[in-house]
Structure 1
Amino acid sequence: MSIARVVNGEEAVPHSWPWQVSMQVRLISPLPYAHNCGGSLIHEEWILTAAHCFMLSLNKPSNWRMCLGKHHMNSSMDVPSAEKCFKVDGIIRHEGFVYEQDKSDIANDIALVHLAERVSMTREISPVCLPKPGVVMPAGTPCFVTGWGDEKGSLFPKVAEKLNQATLPIIDFQTCSKPAYWWDVLRPSMICAGYESPDELKSACQGDSGGPFSCAAGGTGKAWEVHGIVSFGARGCIKDKKPSVFTRVSAFSDWIDHNMKKFIYESGKTI
Structure 2
Amino acid sequence: MCLGKHHMNSSMDVPSTEKCVKVDGIIRHEGFVHEQDKTDITNDIALVHLAERVSMTREISPICLPKPGAVMPAGTPCFVTGWGDEKVNPLHTVAEKLNQAALPIVDFQTCSQPAYWWDTLRPSMICAGYESPDELKSACLGDSGGPFSCAAGGAGGAGKAWEVHGIVSFGARGCIKDKKPSVFTRVSAFSDWIDHNVKKFIHEGGKTI
Paired residue secondary structure (2:189): helix
1:163 matched residue in structure 2? 98
Paired residue secondary structure (2:22): strand
Q: CA deviation at 1:102?
A: 1.3
Equivalent pairs counted in the alignment come to 199
1:211 correspondence with 2:146: yes
**Structure 2: which amino acid aligns with 1:241?**
K
Q: Deviations over 1:90-146 (max 9, x none)?
A: 111100000001122110000001111111111110100000000100000000001
1:36 matched residue in structure 2? none
Which runs of 5 or more residues in structure 1 are unaligned? 1-65, 155-159
Which residue of 55, 62, 67 maps to 1:132?
67
1:102 matched residue in structure 2? 37
Q: CA deviation at 1:152?
A: 2.8
Using CA pairs under 8 Å that are at least 6 residues apart, name the structure with larger relative contact order, 1 or 2. Answer: 1
Counterpart CA distance in 2 for 1:152 and 1:256 is 35
Q: CA deviation at 1:268?
A: 6.3
Structure 1 runs (4+) deviating above 3 angstroms are: none
Counterpart CA distance in 2 for 1:208 and 1:161 is 13
2:92 matched residue in structure 1? none
1:115 matched residue in structure 2? 50
Counterpart CA distance in 1 for 2:139 and 2:80 is 7
Which residue of 160, 180, 192 maps to 1:242?
180
Q: CA deviation at 1:223?
A: 1.1
1:196 matched residue in structure 2? 131
**Structure-to-structure mapping, 1:2-17, within 5 angstroms:** none
Counterpart contact for 2:104–2:129, Cα < 8 Å:
yes
Q: Deviations over 1:49-85 (max 9, x none)?
A: xxxxxxxxxxxxxxxxx10011111011113441000
**Structure 2: which amino acid aligns with 1:203?**
S
**Structure 2: which amino acid aligns with 1:87?**
K
Counterpart CA distance in 2 for 1:210 and 1:253 is 17
Which residue of 262, 266, 270 maps to 2:200?
262
More strand by share: 1
Paired residue secondary structure (2:204): helix
Task: Tell me whether 92-101 or 213-222 shows the greater mean CA deviation.
Answer: 213-222
Counterpart CA distance in 1 for 2:179 and 2:105 is 13
Counterpart CA distance in 2 for 1:99 and 1:153 is 23
1:184 matched residue in structure 2? 119
Return the TM-score normalized by structure 1: 0.71
**Structure 2: which amino acid aligns with 1:102?**
D
1:11 matched residue in structure 2? none
Counterpart CA distance in 2 for 1:183 and 1:67 is 37
**Structure 2: which amino acid aligns with 1:240?**
D
